[in-house]
Amino acid sequence: MPRIAANQKGVTDLFDFEAARQRQQIAPLADRMRPRGLDDFVGQEAILGPGRLLRRAIAADRVGNLILHGPPGVGKTTLARIIAGTTRSHFASLNAVLAGVKELRAEVEAARERLGRHGLRSFLFIDEVHRFNAAQQDALLPWVENGTITLIGATTENPFFEVNKALVSRSRLFRLQPLEPGDLRRLLERALADVEHGYGGRPIQIEADASAHLLDVAGGDARSLLNALELAVETTDPGADGVIRIDLAIAEESIQQRAVLYDKQGDAHFDTISAFIKSLRGSDPDAALFWLARMVEAGENPRFIFRRMLIAAGEDVGLADPQAVVVVEACAAAFERVGLPEGLYPLAQAALYLASTEKSNSVLGFFDALKSVHATSRQEVPSHLRDANRDGKAFGDGVGYRYPHAYAEHWVAQQYLPGALQGEVFWKPGALGWEGGLGAGLQRRRAAQLAAAAEADLEQGILLTTGPEDPALQRWLRRQIGSEGQRLERLRQRFWQGVRWQRQDRCLVLNARSLLWSLDPLDATPEGGVVITVAAEAERGRLEAQLQVLDQLRRPRLLCVPSDQPEALIATLEPGERFEWIVGRSPFQELGPSGLAAWLDRIDELAAPQAQIRLLQSLPLIGPAGALTELVRQRQRSMPRELATLLQQAAAWESGELANGPGADALQQGLEARGWRVAAEQWREPLSVTLSAGLRQRWFSEGASYGRQLSAALGSNSTGRLEQLSADLEGAELAQALQHTLLVAMKKAPGIPGR
């Protein structure tokens, strides 16, 4: 009997294997082409690029509770499967559409047993997690909280709106974006070339305009693109030569219309009505028509839009035009009488009245906006127009919005349309009647808005991730800042003044001697990362000791890199790792012209697109010997002629060294010669230092750079004699001064002089 049971088990395993193989063969192309590892994953560079926190966490198998949020076809489920393939923990998955509390409890019980008996952690991936009701989500919470399971949720809805707040607060959220056209093209080419999973074994030719149509209409959705390709290939007969040829007509039949992503109860609903109301308030009829067209196309209830316009008529127009409420109410009554589609005319008329407040067939501009809804691939609400009432603090929604009532004439130039449509004109007021006098003023406002959008570069990108605060890190940062003293704290604040951080930024701190310049990026870039280079192992050990209390994933990476070997740093970094910020205080101070040139020649290999370099050059205007000379002169102190001569020679040598060092001018010229646009800010800082044993050691000890160079220039006895002189003057106040130069460099835009 045991042998029979074993044989039966073997037969069962064989059938299971064959069934799995058959399912793989008949699976849709989009499923067969899923990446198996991070290196095959396409897109989402802002959160998964080399050096980013999420990539490092997956590689280190230290992924905590995650919620992946984004539109369909951008890689949420694929990313979860990649985590499943790399973790050493048990990985289980549920689909919230099919599973209930019974299945959830079974998975939790199995995870609890694994943890208790074998000490094995368990990941639970829940696809479409927003489909779980409140009771089901509540059932998850205790087990997530006590660590029995680690949750990875995927949702197309805003987790702040659809997911239990307690689960959200215990998870790190990542917002995945629609794929870029270049990413989609890579997927298309991979599907056509892959012999095992794609169509690499079949002769297929796809015309350029056909592939362009597929990429455009897919709208950033990889699944939509691959489904369209599969439909085109499988429904097209080969030619006489056996080749399947896909032209534009076939591509158009395979994918005909771009989907307008819109959820009537979630983010798109609140974000779009927020953008619409803000466009009315901002007196921008073009943007108002666009957002109105998007809501109508997505099936929003026009009565809801009329209600919001009635509120806007009272709140944002008020007594400046008492007829606004009358007009909106009359348009609403007309809409009730004629219905759709003719009711679109009074709907657009009310919006135009509110946006312009003072009649022809110009309302046809609404249909121009409707065409743009169909034709434009990127329709994301600009971050500053999104609804900030629910998750603005976490994802930065609404940040940067300018409240028009706070400005003269209750109007301010800012962007209301999506970036891809900036400058589009949907409404052209006629020359007669009430709207006849609006043309000139409207043109001035449109021109001002275009100028403001170009100058302020408002398309900065939206915040892609958020997570729980780390109180331990905040306490550690406060202690570090407090230990540096007021003078260095002021210097740190000036160094980072005006910086606009992204949470996923990566920062490289060059040749650091303390953690001071790393504190701000450590706090501001939790999903990015900080890399610090030091010149000696002793410095590395000293800084590592200060970082021991931090969680390992939040610690900066400390790399020991000789100050004259930039290639050593590049070889140490992960392939493709680049930095949005390259910073340091006098990192090239001890290098000659050739050493500085070597670093600047490799700087582009370290810089990400749109990277910024911040370098603070702090040069003393007077060195130790010069300060001692001035102190002796003030005190009218007599000394042996030989010592006086030595002091004079040391001051002269020192003055030459200060003048010949790698100053800010050489650094600025070197960056500009390599295509960087550099701004420099200079200021002088007067200092008064007390002569002490510690100061003498910093100047004259055997390992001190100043002492070594002085001995080489004036002989080995010179250092000892000047150290003795400073010991005789111990306790005296030395007057010194530093010349600070802050260089801020950004890469010039190609082909645009001066930018």
Question: 255, 214 in Cβ contact below 8 A?
Answer: yes
150 and 284 assigned to the same domain: no
pLDDT reading at 361 higher than 60: no
| Residue 658 covered by a domain | no
Residue 705 lies in a domain: no
Q: CB-based contacts of 99: which residues, under 8 Å, 6+ apart? A: 126
* Residue 324 pLDDT grade (very low, low, confident, very high; cuts 50, 70, 90): confident
Nearest to 654 by CA among 682, 686, 688, 619: 619
- To the nearest 10°, the Cα dihedral for 508, 510, 511, 513? -60
pLDDT at 117 over 80: yes
CA distance 178 to 201: 30
Does one domain contain both 433 and 356? yes
Contact 393, 379 (CB under 8 A): no
The model carries a pTM of 0.64
Angle at 425 between CA 435 and CA 353, to 5 degrees: 35
CATH number at residue 47: 3.40.50.300
Do residues 742 and 624 both lie within one domain? yes
Mean pLDDT within 477-498: 78
Q: Is residue 710 part of a domain?
A: no
**288, pLDDT greater than 50:** yes
Q: Which of 148, 175, 202 is the last residue of a domain?
A: 175
Structural domain contains residue 651: no
Look up the CATH number of the domain holding residue 434: 1.20.272.10
Give residue 15's pLDDT. 46
Provide mean pLDDT across the span 53-77.
Answer: 82
> Could you tell me which residue, 334 or 482, shows the higher pLDDT?
334
Spatial separation of the C-alpha atoms in residues 389 and 400, rounded to whole Å: 14
pLDDT at position 436? 65
568 and 542 share a domain?
yes
Same domain, 283 and 426: yes
At 169-227, the pLDDT tens digits run 888 888 888 888 888 888 888 888 888 888 888 888 888 888 888 887 777 788 888 88
Identify whether residues 589 and 684 lie together within a single domain.
Answer: yes
Judge if 559 and 480 occupy the same domain: yes
Residue 348's pLDDT is what? 92
CB distance 561 to 535 below 8 Å: yes
Contact in structure between 311 and 276 (CB atoms under 8 Å): no
- The number of domains in the chain is 5
Cis peptide before 562 (omega within 30 of 0): no
Select from 212, 231, 254 the last residue of a domain: 254
First to last CA, the chain: 82
Specify the pLDDT at position 579: 94
Residues 6+ positions from 465 with CB-CB distance below 8 Å = 47, 54, 172, 173, 174, 175, 503, 504, 527
In a domain, 518, yes or no: yes
**Tokens 């000379």 — which residue?**
629
H helices of 528-663, in order, are 537-546, 566-572, 593-606, 624-635, 641-660
Helix (H, G, I), strand (E, B) or coil at 345: helix
299-313, 501-515, 534-548, 722-736: least confident range: 722-736
pLDDT reported for residue 359: 33
Is residue 79 domain-shared with residue 153, that is, in the same domain? yes
567 and 681 share one domain: yes
* Top-ranked range on mean pLDDT: pick from 181-195, 484-498, 499-513: 499-513
Mean pLDDT value across residues 673-690: 86
Tens-place pLDDT, residues 531-566: 999 988 888 888 888 888 787 878 899 999 988 889
Under DSSP, the state recorded for 531 is: E
Q: Round the average pLDDT of the chain to a whole number and report it.
A: 78
Cα(304)–Cα(265) distance, integer angstroms: 12
What pLDDT sits at residue 451? 67
Percent of the chain clearing pLDDT 90 (strictly above): 12
Give the pLDDT of residue 330: 92
Q: Are residues 498 and 397 in the same domain?
A: no
Residues 143, 188: one domain?
A: no
d(CA 226, CA 232): 10
User: Quick one: pLDDT at residue 349?
Assistant: 92
3-state SS assignment for residue 321: coil
**DSSP-assigned letters across all residues of 649-669:** HHHHHHHHHHHHS--HHHHHH
pLDDT category of residue 454 using cuts at 50, 70 and 90: low
Residue 110 covered by a domain? yes
Block residue for tokens 């796809």: 206
Tens digit of each residue's pLDDT (9 = 90 or more) over 467-476: 666 677 777 7
Distance CA(532)–CA(559), nearest Å, equals: 6
Tell me which residue range forms the domain holding 58: 33-175
| Mean pLDDT on 685-697 | 76
Q: Cα–Cα distance between 34 and 71 in angstroms, integer?
A: 17
C-alpha to C-alpha distance for 566 and 602, rounded to whole angstroms: 7
Query: What's residue 207's pLDDT?
Result: 86
Q: Among the three residues 159, 175, 191, which one is the final residue of a domain in this structure?
A: 175
Residue 96 lies in a domain: yes
Query: Which among 551, 547, 614, 557 has a CA at the least distance from the CA of 580?
Result: 614
Residues 38 and 162 in one domain: yes
Across 440-455, average pLDDT: 70
Residue 393: phi and psi, rounded to 5, are -65, -35
pLDDT above 70 (res 263) = no
Q: Is the CB of residue 35 less than 8 Å from the CB of residue 84?
A: no
Q: Which residues of 317-333 are buried (b: 16+ CB within 10 A; e: fewer)?
A: beeebeebbebbeebbe
Q: What percent of the chain stands above pLDDT 70?
A: 82
Answer yes or no: is 652 within a domain: no
The residue that leads in pLDDT, 613 or 400, is: 613
Rounded to whole angstroms, how far apart are CA atoms 550 and 385?
A: 37
Cα distance between residue 497 and residue 744, in whole Å: 11
